[in-house]
Structure 1
């Protein structure tokens, strides 16, 4: 965990500047959409954490026991999935070939286990709702130059952050040093 730096809290006018910096993703190009989401997750990670904490606190105050149970279940399922993805060849190959399906499977398993304990509404509002809000923002928010540079620095290991570690564990982080070369080449062409 050494060398991990927490990203700064982005100002509100950068996080939500108005409709001119938001656009519908290209549903036909899933790679481009995934890159936008990963880039925004890395860049706005502290803002997303703050959003998640606010929702957790609201739901936690309304139903603290179910929120703690839901958090423990999701954490255990996540850690188990990451461990299995690193130590079991079949799961590792599946995660590498289908990273998005892997994440959905982790969330589905979490939902199933929480439903066994009767905490479905807490799971939906306390855990899934913040993830949905984050995914919607990350999908719709267009990237700016600073966002792209931060993502490239994270992608080649020059900078590590908590979100980068989580995305890497889920198989969402691309490990390519060519990202910087591609980025620089695209900027030179412009």
Structure 2
């Protein structure tokens, strides 16, 4: 026997799908990519991703292809973060310097992935890509939420084991009140 949800009359194992009108899909995707605690611009992402000597070739790419490249780089960072975190043992009692270094590198990869997607949201908001171009780019890049979920599970596992601090995904619930006003959130943005 399955449990029913008394409010909707559905079962606990049913998934609820919500249709999004075609004309709003781009805005919905951009909002999902947006990180409300960051203000990443498309130009910052391009500067971090594209070497100066490749800028002419980049400019020749259609907007959809540029977004595909950024989303593919973000997916690579997600995978790297998840793999690094999965390799960290949590049975050591206290973190070694090597564990701390791996954790820091994994969170750098995570930060880059999230900022790249935030930059894509900015590109949409600024008209660099339209609805159709953004949706096509997401479909071609193969955006994989399962990798992000794995990354976040591994992050929580390691952080809990060693009492490391981290900002939760979409981290609007936790905010460090000691942040200096005017601090540039892109200062530690290193894509390599």
Alignment TM class, shorter chain as reference = under 0.3
| Bigger helix share | 1
TM-score, normalization by structure 1 = 0.28
Larger radius of gyration: 2
TM-score, normalization by structure 2 = 0.28
